[in-house]
Structure formats: structure tokens, C-alpha cells
Amino acid sequence: MSQVKEVVLITGANTGLGLEIVKALYKTAQAYHIIAGSRNISNGEAAVAAVRQEIPSSSSSLSVIQVDLASDESIKKAFENIELKFGRLDILVNNGGAGFDGAIRDGKMSIREAWNKSWDTNVSGTQVLTTEAIPLLLKSSHPRLLFITSGTSTLTMTESFAHPTLQRINASPAPGWPKPQQINPIESYRSAKTGLNMMMRQWHRILLNDGVKVWAVSPGFLATGLGGVGIEQLKKVSKDNSFNGRFPN
């Protein structure tokens, strides 16, 4: 008997952590229908082509779908296409997100613009996308809903100095104003991810009696392009983080 493939949608899958999740799943012996969500379809197709070249043999199938967290129309159309092709969704990985604090630092955005955009992308857009996904998740016999959060977002960790990264982001600057510019500011991003954590808790409550497993995952400090600092610089301070290509049962 052929192995039943679970249908997985990963948002923000054309780069960074999202792309690494795609690779990890594509490598595993368990078969998935992996849908790589990308705001720009050509970027998604290029990323998928690179995965297929890097991993020429897989038990999984891989496709790309255009989905923009800032566009309700894009989100709605994406799920219409998933329903038409697969009829259900087994796993949603809400990985898509962005940071805009560097744009404030560099004078490219006002504080209001950057904070609104951060919350619209990381929280509001994710809420809209998740809401659209629920009918398809409820058609699954084993639905799972994941939110990729940040270790910087937990309220209890804002007073911890147990790790060099926490020492940096939780330290209070010297008195006076204006404060020195940070290399990698995260105020709006950190706050938005805290909002995402509460969103996850709410979805856990709402879907508890539907049998949907809901949780958030903090991947740790990784070298990605999210902060606009540069991947090579972040590699010097990032810790190794691995994903074994299997979802919890």
C-alpha cells in the first residue's frame, strides 16, 4: 500500500528558516505534499528548483503557491487553490514574517509605519491566513497548526541575562537621549512576536475540542536575512539549530 502523503503549507518558504523546513521535510523518508508559500511566485519557484537540484530523490512532492500576508485576496486565492488540488490541509506552518526596525534606524520608515507593518505582517496577516486555513485543517484526520515565534518574545525572558544574546537584547542603555543606534534593533519585531504568542494561545483554546494540535516553536537565534544585518555576521554568533524533518504526532 502506498504511503498517504500529508499536505503541508509553509509560509515564507522561499528563504531562511522556511526554506530550511522545506529541505528538511523533502529529505525525510516520510512522504509529504509540501506547499512552499512565497510572496513572490518566481522567488518561490527558484527556491523549489534549488531544493530539487540539491535533493534529487525524495518520497515527497513539492509545489509553490503565491501568498502574501499583507493581501487578503492573495490569502483567499491560495486556499482556494489548495482546496481545489488537495481538498484538505494537514499541517500549517506559520513561518512567514518580517522585521522593520532597521528601517526606523536607517530613516526609511517612521516609527508608526514600521510598527504597523510589523504587526500587519507578523500578527494580522498570520491571523487572516490561519482563519482561512481552518476549514481545510478540519478536513484532516490529524490536523496540526504551528506558529514560528521568537525567543525574544517571551515576557519572562525579558529580565534574563543567562545567554550572551539575552545579555545584549535585555541590557539597559546608558542614561540620556537619544539612545545609541543598535546594530540589530528588534523592538517592533519582538513586540509583534509576543502578540503572535497570544494568538497561538487563542487558537489552542478555540480549536481544542476540534482535535487540532496547536503550538508555537522558537527556533533559536539563527543566521537569516530577517534582521537586515547580514547572514555572515549573524553566523558568528548564532547557535546550531536542527530540524529533523518530522512533525510531532
At 85, the amino acid letter reads: K
228 touches 102 (CB < 8 A): yes
**CA-CA distance, 21 to 217, in Å (whole number)?**
12
- Judge whether 150 counts as a catalytic residue: yes
Q: What is the DSSP string of 149-168?
A: --TT--GGGGG--SSHHHHH
Residue 235: all three cell numbers together: 553566523
The catalytic residue among 23, 60, 191, 193 is 193
Residue 147: all three cell numbers together: 506558529
**CA-CA distance, 234 to 63, in Å (whole number)?**
30
SS3 92: strand
Partnered with residue 6 across adjacent β-strands are 32
Residue with cell 526606523: 104
Reduced DSSP (H G I as helix, E B as strand, rest coil) percent helix, strand, coil of the chain, to 5: 45, 15, 40
- Judge whether 61 counts as a catalytic residue: no
**CA-CA distance, 25 to 244, in Å (whole number)?**
8
- Judge whether 118 counts as a catalytic residue: no
Contacts of 232 (CB under 8 A, 6+ apart): 223
The catalytic residue among 150, 153, 188, 191 is 150
Catalytic residues: 150, 189, 193
